[in-house]
Amino acid sequence: MAEMSPRQRIRFLCHQCQREFPVRDPRWKCDCGGVLDLDFKPLIDLKKLEGRPPTLWRYREVLPVEDDGNIVSFDEGFTPLQKISLTGGEAFFKVDCLFPSGSFKDRGSSILVSKLKEWGIREVVEDSSGNAGSSLAGYCARAGIGCHIYVPRSTSPAKCTQIEAYGAVLHRVPGSREAAARAALEAAGKTYYASHVWNPFFSQGTKTFAYEVCEQLDWRAPDWLAAAVGNGSLLLGAFTGFTELLAAGIIKTMPRLLAFQAEACAPLAEAFMENSTHVPLPKKRPTAAEGIAVAAPKRGRQILDAVRQSGGRFMTIAEAEIKESLRMMWRQGYYIEPTSAVAVAGVEKFLRQEGAAGLVVSTLTGHGLKASG
Ligand X SMILES: *Cc1c(COP(=O)(O)O)cnc(C)c1O
**Interface residue list for ligand X (CB under 6 A):** 103, 105, 131-132, 228-234, 291-292, 337, 339-340, 365-366
| Distance between CA atoms of residues 260 and 268, nearest Å | 9
Of 10, 13, 30, 251, the one binding Zn ion (CB under 5 A) is: 30
**Least distance in angstroms from the C-beta of 35 to Zn ion:** 9
**Least distance in angstroms from the C-beta of 335 to ligand X:** 13
Name which of ligand X, Zn ion, none residue 228 binds, using a CB cut-off of 5 to 8 Å depending on partner kind: ligand X
Q: Does 17 bind Zn ion (CB under 5 A)?
A: yes
CB distance 308 to 271 below 8 Å: no
Of 14, 63, 194, 238, the one binding Zn ion (CB under 5 A) is: 14
CA distances from 181 to 144, 241, 369 (A): 24, 27, 25
**Least distance in angstroms from the C-beta of 33 to Zn ion:** 7
Q: How many CA atoms lie within 13 A of 125 on its CB side?
A: 19
Name which of Zn ion, ligand X, none residue 234 binds, using a CB cut-off of 5 to 8 Å depending on partner kind: ligand X
Of 16, 276, 277, 332, the one binding Zn ion (CB under 5 A) is: 16
| Distance between CA atoms of residues 314 and 260, nearest Å | 6
Stretch that binds Zn ion, among 17-25, 139-147, 217-225, 343-351 (CB under 5 A): 17-25
**Least distance in angstroms from the C-beta of 136 to ligand X:** 12
Name which of ligand X, Zn ion, none residue 152 binds, using a CB cut-off of 5 to 8 Å depending on partner kind: none
| Distance between CA atoms of residues 98 and 214, nearest Å | 19
Helix (H, G, I), strand (E, B) or coil at 22: strand
| Distance between CA atoms of residues 36 and 203, nearest Å | 11
Of the candidates 309, 329, 321, 310, the one whose C-alpha atom is nearest the C-alpha of residue 346 is 321
Q: Does 320 bind Zn ion (CB under 5 A)?
A: no
**Least distance in angstroms from the C-beta of 85 to Zn ion:** 47
Q: Give the neighbor-by-neighbor strand order of the sheet with 20-22.
A: 20-22, 11-14, 36-39
Name which of ligand X, Zn ion, none residue 300 binds, using a CB cut-off of 5 to 8 Å depending on partner kind: none
Residue placing its CB nearer to ligand X in the complex, 160 or 229? 229
Name which of ligand X, Zn ion, none residue 366 binds, using a CB cut-off of 5 to 8 Å depending on partner kind: ligand X
Question: Which letter, b or e, does each residue of 14-49 get, where b requires 16 or more Cβ atoms within 10 Å of its Cβ?
Answer: beeeeeeeebeebbbbbeeebbbbbbbebebeeeeb
Stretch that binds Zn ion, among 16-24, 40-48, 62-70, 134-142 (CB under 5 A): 16-24
Helix (H, G, I), strand (E, B) or coil at 219: coil
Residue placing its CB nearer to ligand X in the complex, 60 or 267? 267
Question: Which residue sits closest to ligand X, CB atoms considered?
Answer: 366
**Least distance in angstroms from the C-beta of 80 to ligand X:** 17
Q: Does 43 bind Zn ion (CB under 5 A)?
A: no
The Cα angle at residue 22 between residues 20 and 25, in degrees rounded to 5: 130
**Least distance in angstroms from the C-beta of 302 to Zn ion:** 14
**Least distance in angstroms from the C-beta of 38 to Zn ion:** 14
Q: Which residues contact 47 (CB under 8 A, 6 or more apart)?
A: none
Helix (H, G, I), strand (E, B) or coil at 143: helix
**Least distance in angstroms from the C-beta of 14 to ligand X:** 21
Q: Does 20 bind Zn ion (CB under 5 A)?
A: no
The Cα angle at residue 332 between residues 326 and 337, in degrees rounded to 5: 30
Give the single-character DSSP code of 115.
H
Name which of ligand X, Zn ion, none residue 291 binds, using a CB cut-off of 5 to 8 Å depending on partner kind: ligand X
H-type alpha helices, the chain: 105-119, 131-143, 157-165, 177-187, 200-206, 208-216, 233-247, 267-273, 300-309, 319-331, 338-354
Residue placing its CB nearer to ligand X in the complex, 13 or 265? 265
Name which of ligand X, Zn ion, none residue 16 binds, using a CB cut-off of 5 to 8 Å depending on partner kind: Zn ion
Neighbours of 341 (CB within 10 A): 31
Residues found near Zn ion in the complex (CB under 5 A): 14, 16-17, 19, 30, 32, 34
